[in-house]
Amino acid sequence: MAQGHLIPAVDTALLLATHGAVCTIVATPATAARGRPTVERFEVTRAQAPGFFRNPGWEKFADDVERARAEADGVVMNTFLEMEPEYVSGYADARGMKVWTVGPVALYHQSTATLAARGNAAAIGADECLQWLDGKEPGSVVYVSFGSIVHPEEKQIVELGLGLEASGQPFIWAGKSPDHHGEASLAFLRELEARTAGRGLIIRGQKF
């Protein structure tokens, strides 16, 4: 499960758990580590785990999901009706089932610490980022992020960086960890940070 899917899944599980539900999220050790700081957990041995997760075969997994969906009373979604009523209504009509909108589930977290602990660790802490934002005018900061799936090429990174520099606006650029960049891209980002110091904040993975 990719980080962009894991975080809202954990948030939804935490929200449901406050109402007495027991929630299980099956993940690999690497992805589980990203959500571990925010949840209470107990160990499940391989013998206790659902059998079909032991073997490869997404077709069977998809069949099981569809079968469970057909037997379910409805679907819980991480959204709220006022934001996208047409999509919620359209999904309910297409699937012929109820839809409960419980989002945004990220609002379940009441502290900045638990919000920041979700996902991979960043090179810049949440407090440092918030302090930086507090020093800027409201509505003046450009935020750039392409999520966990997009892997921009070197020339795209350079063009985007030069555009942010030329804009003259304060900016936060959330990007990949160093492992996802070549040496040329890393060198450019270092130079960009130096040229836009105080105006630009580049956030990447666990280290520079």
Residue corresponding to tokens 């520079």: 208
The rounded distance, in Å, linking the Cα atoms of 172 and 57 is 41
Task: Determine what percent of the chain falls in helix, strand and coil, rounding each to the nearest 5.
Answer: 50, 10, 40
Quote the pLDDT of residue 208.
Answer: 34
Q: Are 11 and 108 in contact (CB under 8 A)?
A: yes
Q: Is the pLDDT of residue 163 over 60?
A: yes
Put simply, whether the predicted model's pTM sits higher than 0.85 gets the answer no
Residue corresponding to tokens 């891209």: 185
- What would the pLDDT profile of 113-157 be if each residue is shown by its tens digit? 565 556 555 567 777 888 999 999 999 999 998 876 777 888 999
The rounded distance, in Å, linking the Cα atoms of 83 and 80 is 6
Q: Classify 121-203 by CATH class.
A: alpha beta
Quote the pLDDT of residue 198.
Answer: 92
Domain spans in the chain, listed from the N-terminal domain onward: 3-108, 121-203
Q: Which of the residue ranges 34-43, 158-167, 169-178, 185-194 would you say has the lowest mean pLDDT? A: 34-43
Q: Are 102 and 76 in contact (CB under 8 A)?
A: yes
Residue corresponding to tokens 């569809």: 66
